[in-house]
Amino acid sequence: MLATVSKNFFIYASQNKPLNKAAKKWGLKFGAAQVVAGMTIESAIKQVKKQNQKGLMCTLDHLGEFVSSREEALEATDYNIRTLNAMAEAGVKSNLSVKMTQLGLDIDRDFCIDNMHQILRTAKKHNNFVRIDMEDYSHCQVTLDILRELRETYDNVGTVIQSYLYRSEQDVNDLKGIPLRLVKGAYKESSEVAFQEKKDVDENYMVIIKKHLLSGSYTAIASHDHNIISNVKEFVEENNIPRDQFEFQMLYGFRADMQLNLVKEGYRMRVYVPFGNDWFGYFMRRLAERPQNITFALKGFFSK
């Protein structure tokens, strides 16, 4: 019961616009510096280099979502382009993750698509890949529709599927051949569209992982759950799935030892590295996901 109340509180906080606005002025507080790689492109690249030196690949995410003005969306588009250019100049092993509500999806669909074209052209020039992060359920269908439209021109773009949604198995079927990051999901959704029990989410997660792997599609398994990871290892061995067809992904600042162990075992491992001043919503969702993360954050806060 307490865990549910805690989760609901942090999800509510993540969507609170006044709190998000205030947090931009606070700097990285409340332990957020442990899980957000600084405020600037330079600080993010520095952290990516450190991860690369350990054998870890990365994906950079300039934090921000649900922008309400064209000016903000254009600034975010430019920032993502500069991030791609900076990664190429530094020669780091990292791709890019983006949220389309940061690029104007809630303002105008075509405007957002134009911004995505600019980002994907830059990524293509640098032989890099862009992942469209999946947001809440209200943006799911439009995200997949835009992905399909973009894939007509660019092969260096994929997206994310969340296993807590009932529709996810069908979506994975429909997206055969497209690189997907598969996750459990981090938003609060109603029982009309999403599983509410952890065991059901976990079960569906393994279903969609196996389905995408067996289709021959490149699959990113984004999880800190050692049981899920063990099950995936066993499944790929049993089905002779080559290790260059999939990768594990984890969040920057979480389970670093497990990340390094996977690299030592010969698996591809990518770290999701968020950065920027719009960190509050991301951080609140991390606290909502697992009660352990709250203790982790408090330790970080009081150690300063």
Dump pLDDT digits (tens) for 231-240. Answer: 999 999 999 9
Alpha carbon distance 144, 160 (integer Å): 9
Distance spanning both ends of the chain, measured CA to CA: 31
Distances (CA, A) of 197 to 3, 9, 59, 65, 202: 13, 18, 30, 27, 9
- β-bridge partners, 95: 59
- Mean pLDDT in residue range 81-94: 98
**Which CATH number applies to 37-278?**
3.20.20.220
Distances (CA, A) of 186 to 127, 234, 248: 30, 26, 18
Of 31, 112, 25, the residue nearest 65 (C-alpha) = 112
> Can you give the pLDDT at residue 278?
73
Q: Between 70 and 282, whose confidence is greater? A: 70
Alpha carbon distance 33, 292 (integer Å): 17
Distances (CA, A) of 250 to 10, 102, 190: 21, 22, 26
Structure tokens at 117: 């074209």
For the chain, give every domain's residue range. 37-278
Structure tokens at 169: 């198995």
Q: At what angle do helices 291-302 and 280-289 cross, to 10 degrees?
A: 130
State the catalytic residues. Answer: 133, 181
pLDDT band with cut points at 50, 70 and 90 for residue 297: very low
Structure tokens at 282: 């991301």
> Can you give the pLDDT at residue 17?
56
Q: Between 33 and 256, whose confidence is greater? A: 256
Which segment of 22-36, 73-87, 264-278 scores lowest on mean pLDDT?
A: 22-36
Which segment of 85-99, 189-203, 242-256, 282-296 scores lowest on mean pLDDT?
A: 282-296
CB atoms within 10 A of CB 201: 18
The phi, psi pair for 268, rounded to 5°, reads -75, 130
Structure tokens at 120: 């994907």
pLDDT band with cut points at 50, 70 and 90 for residue 38: confident
- What is the DSSP pairing of strand 269-275 with strand 57-62? parallel
- The four Cα atoms 127, 58, 285, 179 give a dihedral, to 10 degrees, of 50
The phi, psi pair for 218, rounded to 5°, reads -70, 135
Query: Do residues 172 and 180 touch, judged by C-beta distance below 8 A?
Result: yes
